[in-house]
Amino acid sequence: MQLLRKLLFPFSLLYGAVVHIRNFLYDRNILISKKFDVTTICIGNLSVGGTGKTPMTEFLIELLQPHYKIAVLSRGYRRKSAGFVLANESTTVEELGDEPFQIHQKFKDTTVAVDANRREGIKKLSEQVSPNLILLDDAYQHRKVKPDFSLLLTSFGDLYVDDWYLPTGNLRDSKKAAGRAHVIIVTKCPQGLSEDDQERIKKKLKPKKHQKVLFSYLEYDNMVHGHLHQLEVEELKGRKITLVTGIANPVPLVNHLKNMGLDLDHLAFGDHHFFSEREVETLKKKEIIVTTEKDYVRLGKGIPNLYYLQVKHRFMDDGKQMISEALQEIMKGKS
């Protein structure tokens, strides 16, 4: 695979040129980014998958929901529907896509909608729901909308400054596009990341004067949750565990469970994989299956002994307070 990616280097140059021209047209206002009356917050990255956008969106919901009427707008990647879909009690994971459906199930007081056309989605949400805050999930490259506040995520083990354009690398946008972010968050850090290491990363990222660089790590639940009951992760030791993942980067989860002393048979599928009936029937024969929350909503409730492990972002130092204060300033400016 790595050899193939290197051979495709000329195509990555072409891809990079297209990205550069597109950004140039928006930066010079030849193509127009539209601002909206409703406050919009963008959560995104420069690479394909694996930076923790959904847990960050959930973090923002938990932080802001007590104070604002929130809606989440996503494109609904790999959903089996088209156009604008506003989630309700009968909406399925196939209609929304796995990540929006996960949010819809967890946060009943938050409106969730999907639309590949973010302008149209914001317009319809404003007309039908009237939120005073819209979280734009995975919308960093959607420059038809100019958000009020942008969070750019980059993984500790795969910083965008060390990457290259698709298909040779994983970048889907220019490294210079990082300059549009208000806050850059280095995710999936080791919990004990030293101040010296944080400063080293900041120097690599070279943030602009207006940008803050924050650091976060993943905190895994000590329980796995099933349809009918839950188990402590410690109870899984010594048992035959099948780990099923359909996410961009399962390495942190695999390492966490192995560090917990679990013996795993890992079945890795592509990101956002929709499981076939044959695959589901095979999984039903497993003793205990542990999966991610995103995979759980796609696998459904028909598999015995299927459990998911929740994960949350936790900020180092005073990162949470800095995010909270910055968002409060944005909301004041829009009121």
Model pLDDT for residues 118-146, shown as the tens digit of each residue: 999 999 999 999 999 999 999 999 999 99
Please check whether residues 209 and 95 belong to one and the same domain.
yes
Q: What's the pLDDT at 55?
A: 94
Q: What is the pLDDT of residue 330?
A: 86
Q: Note whether 192 and 326 are same-domain residues.
A: yes
Taking the model in full, what pTM does it have? 0.94
Question: Do 265 and 320 belong together in one domain?
Answer: no
Which residues have a Cβ under 8 Å from the Cβ of 110 and sit 6 or more positions away?
61, 65, 70, 71, 72, 103, 104
| 191 and 227 in a common domain | no
> What are the tens digits of pLDDT across the range 265-300?
999 998 888 899 999 999 999 999 999 999 999 997
Find out whether 39 is annotated in a ligand binding site.
no
**Hey, which residues does 155 pair with through a beta bridge?**
158, 187
Please check if 52 is assigned to a binding site.
yes
The DSSP element (H or E) to which 151 belongs, if any, is strand 149-155
Residue ranges of the chain with per-residue pLDDT less than 70? 1, 335
Q: State the average pLDDT for the chain.
A: 94
Q: Are residues 307 and 327 in the same domain?
A: no
Q: Distance of CA 210 to CAs 75, 178, 298, 334, Å?
A: 29, 12, 40, 19
Number of domains in the chain: 2
51 marked as part of a ligand binding site: yes
300 is an annotated ligand-binding site residue: no
Residue 271 structural domain: 219-313
36 and 106 part of one domain? yes
In the prediction, which pLDDT does 1 show? 59
54 annotated as a binding-site residue: yes
Output the domain CATH number for residue 292: 3.40.50
Q: Is 48 annotated as a binding residue?
A: yes
223 and 133 part of one domain = no
- For residues 191 and 306, state if they share a domain: no
On whether both 235 and 184 belong to a single domain, the answer is: no
CATH for 40: 3.40.50.300
Indicate the pairing of strand 111-114 with strand 85-86: antiparallel
